[in-house]
Amino acid sequence: MFGEKLKTNIDTDFLKIIAIISMFIDHIGMVFFPQYYIFRWIGRIAFPIFCYCMTVGVLYTNNVKSYILRLVIFAFISQPFYLLAFYYNNILGNIFKLNIFFTLILSFIGIWSFKEKKVILFIVINLLLITGYFDYGNLGLIFMLVFYIFRNKPIWGMFLYVIIHIPYFIVGNFQFGVGVQAFAIFALPLIYIKTNTGIRLPKMFFYIFYPAHLLLIFILRIIIGI
């Protein structure tokens, strides 16, 4: 089924596993080992992979409203765990910081509106991502546009994905001479080289994992005392 519409990697459960492992390593490093940059480097591949998998979702979901509702529910479920995991020492001072689900929700709606040619909605979503407090800003929507528009032209997709990351090699939070986000370039082969692992996991596993791993980080912080 997927092969008819996409020339990129449609082994999405495998990709999601890679993404959540990468994200978990990133968050462990951010909280417990901020002095070791390798955790953050590994973590950079998670976001573009999630964006790619959601682009596949835009193409193949039978019920967009249900898809968005599921994302919204888990965004709100995850929010208190997000604040506890990263800001429990100053929750009120960070109360408006939103977890990544909120960025992905708006990016998903943005790419759906682009697909359905709902121009005004697309512009509004883009402005919200740029001006609001959302992790990655509108980068997720940019990723999704590349993945969607060039879904059948993988060479062009890879080229533009590399172009997007060139600024991070020049400016940003430098580590070893490049911006941290530059390491997201390593998601490229996972997205564009087809795999066929046959891995299948329950859909809800990936949604539940996010708040669950945040709760685990909070518990570890309490135990360790940091």
pLDDT, tens only, 185-202: 999 999 999 998 988 998
Structure confidence at residue 169 as a pLDDT band (50, 70, 90):
confident
Residue numbers of the domain that contains 59 = 2-224
Picking from 2-6, 134-138, 190-194, which range would have the lowest pLDDT averaged per residue? 2-6
Residues in the chain: 226
- What is the spatial distance between Cα 34 and Cα 38, in angstroms, rounded to a whole number? 9
Secondary structure of residue 175 in the 3-state scheme = strand
User: At residue 123, what is the residue type?
Assistant: I
pLDDT tens profile 141-153: 999 999 999 999 9
Specify the residue for token string 């417990």.
Answer: 32
Per DSSP, the three-state class of 215 is helix
Kindly tell me if the per-residue pLDDT of 168 is higher than 60.
yes
Return the residue matching tokens 């060479």: 155
Which of 51, 9, 30, 20 is CA-nearest to residue 136? Answer: 51
**What pLDDT is attached to residue 91?**
86
What's the average model confidence in pLDDT over 19-41?
94
Tally of domains within the chain: 1
